[in-house]
């Protein structure tokens, strides 16, 4: 049975450059190549696919549309002296409905 070299006397040849390195200092890259410590390149993060976030389609606590009429008074209030009278009447009355 064959024995393999190990320890401080074993050498390896780089798959990238062909240079000789100590086998216990060599590193295996993500591509499977065995290279020297000065030639090692880690895998780039751009090569990993990103997880796509899925947007939810439904609302957890939806609220119904507002169908109540909103009354807005438009006009100029009657003025007595320099201060507005709180019980002043307005000229016109209209309604506004909110629709989506």
**Strand, coil or helix: what is 8?**
helix
**What integer pLDDT is reported at residue 76 of this predicted model?**
60
Reported as a single tens digit per residue, the pLDDT across 15-71 is 999 999 999 999 999 999 999 999 999 998 888 888 887 777 777 777 777 777 766
User: Quick one: pLDDT band at residue 84, thresholds 50, 70, 90?
Assistant: very low
**Calpha distance 25→8 (Å, rounded):** 10
Say whether pTM exceeds 0.95: no
Reported as a single tens digit per residue, the pLDDT across 7-20 is 778 899 999 999 99
**Calpha distance 4→23 (Å, rounded):** 12
User: Quick one: pLDDT band at residue 92, thresholds 50, 70, 90?
Assistant: low
Residue 95's closest CA among 75, 77, 72? 72
Longest CA–CA separation in the chain, Å: 116
Dihedral angle, C-alpha 7, 17, 40, 6, nearest 10 °: -10
């Amino acid at each position: 049975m064959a024995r393999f070299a190990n320890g401080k006397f074993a050498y390896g040849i780089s798959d990238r450059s062909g240079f000789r390195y100590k086998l216990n200092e060599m590193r295996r890259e993500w591509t499977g190549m065995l290279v020297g410590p000065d030639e090692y390149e880690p895998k780039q993060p751009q090569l990993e696919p990103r997880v796509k976030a899925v947007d939810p389609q439904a609302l957890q606590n939806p609220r119904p549309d507002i169908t109540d009429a909103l009354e807005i008074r438009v006009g100029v209030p009657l003025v007595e002296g320099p201060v507005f009278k709180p019980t002043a009447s307005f000229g016109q009355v209209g309604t506004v409905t909110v629709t989506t």
